A = this chain, B = another copy of it.
């Protein structure tokens, strides 16, 4: 059904650039919560520029419709939803401007949002880099800009450490991580996911990104993260998460479970391969790591235990208007 919605929408998209971005977001070519949120803001900006609305009211209605289509591209991505919420509520507050002024403001709002999101990365990199010490062996999983930037910052500070990178089946995002780190002359040990338990006794820290933080302090991240968290606990290796606070999903406080995307079987097995009666190939994209496995979450506002982070964010969320 999601796909149907997408097709309908993409047929209605007037602009090749947006079409391309949407397809890239949908196909996971644009990856990582930050990049997806930024792409969402940029798509809104392009839509605003191309809008043929006759007045401010129609303009806002149009943008809201576009935004709904954008959100549906990655229904499990709270950062995308949060970003669209923030931008639309700022636009909505200017509904009394003239259409022309509104268009100019909208472009600025989108640009500012992108800048702010981009600055998050720098803050996290700085904070997180302080946690790395000489001699560390940091295990990471999948690809996270926050993790890579932390490690790069630590390297620039002259710290000496190694990184164990797991390949992260089925899409091998570990390769991206390994290359980006090696480009910075960071020593990398690269292995299959199933080797993480054996290598855990060499690790001094685990550091991963997150796709979402839930109200009970759980961390939703790429499939395989929970496995590494269990291994880290079994070896008393501290488990760090690095992500912007936009990853916190306040809907989880209302009881909504964080949806776990089930992706296509073809990512796991070749076309037709194992298409045997009785074999059910499952491919969950994420898993959930409960609070007791997580030492702290490194965000742009500080590094806290997941429990403390949630209560700090909740008190702030309460003052922000919610989308309908």
Binding site for B on A (CB under 8 A): 126-131, 133, 166-170, 175, 178-179, 181-183, 185-201, 204, 215-217, 223-224, 226-227, 230-231, 233-238, 252-257, 268-269, 273-274, 276-284, 287-288, 290-292, 295-296, 298, 302-312, 314-315
Contact = CB atoms under 8 A, between A and B. Distances in A.
A216 B312 contact: no
B227 A194 contact: yes
A240 to B, nearest CB: 9
22 contacts: A129-B255, A130-B254, A179-B279, A186-B278, A188-B278, A188-B279, A189-B280, A189-B282, A190-B269, A190-B280, A194-B224, A195-B223, A195-B284, A196-B227, A199-B282, A201-B237, A253-B304, A255-B298, A308-B311, A308-B314, A311-B311, A311-B312
Question: 9 closest A-B pairs (Cβ-Cβ)?
Answer: A194-B224, A130-B255, A253-B302, A307-B307, A127-B255, A216-B296, A197-B227, A308-B311, A193-B194
Contact of A255 (B178, B186, B295, B303): B303
Given A215-B304, A235-B236, A307-B307, A192 B255 contact: no
Contacts of A129: 255
Given A231-B230, A303-B215, A311-B312, A279 B197 contact: no
A232 B256 CA distance: 22
B253 A303 contact: yes
A257 B290 contact: no
Contact of A169 (B127, B167, B269, B314): B167
Contacts of A308: 215-217, 307-308, 310-311, 314
Contacts of A273: 175
A281 B254 CA distance: 34
Contacts of A186: 278
B197 A303 contact: no
Contacts of A128: 255
A238 B198 contact: no
A193 B190 contact: no
Contacts of A127: 254-255
A194 to B, nearest CB: 3
A191 B235 contact: no
Given A201-B236, A268-B167, A282 B230 contact: no
Given A191-B283, A276-B178, A280-B190, A257 B305 contact: no
Given A253-B302, A287-B198, A230 B238 contact: no
Contact of A314 (B181, B292, B295, B312): B312
A159 to B, nearest CB: 12
A314 B302 contact: yes
Q: Which of A131, A169, A175, A197: most chain B CB closer than 10 A?
A: A197
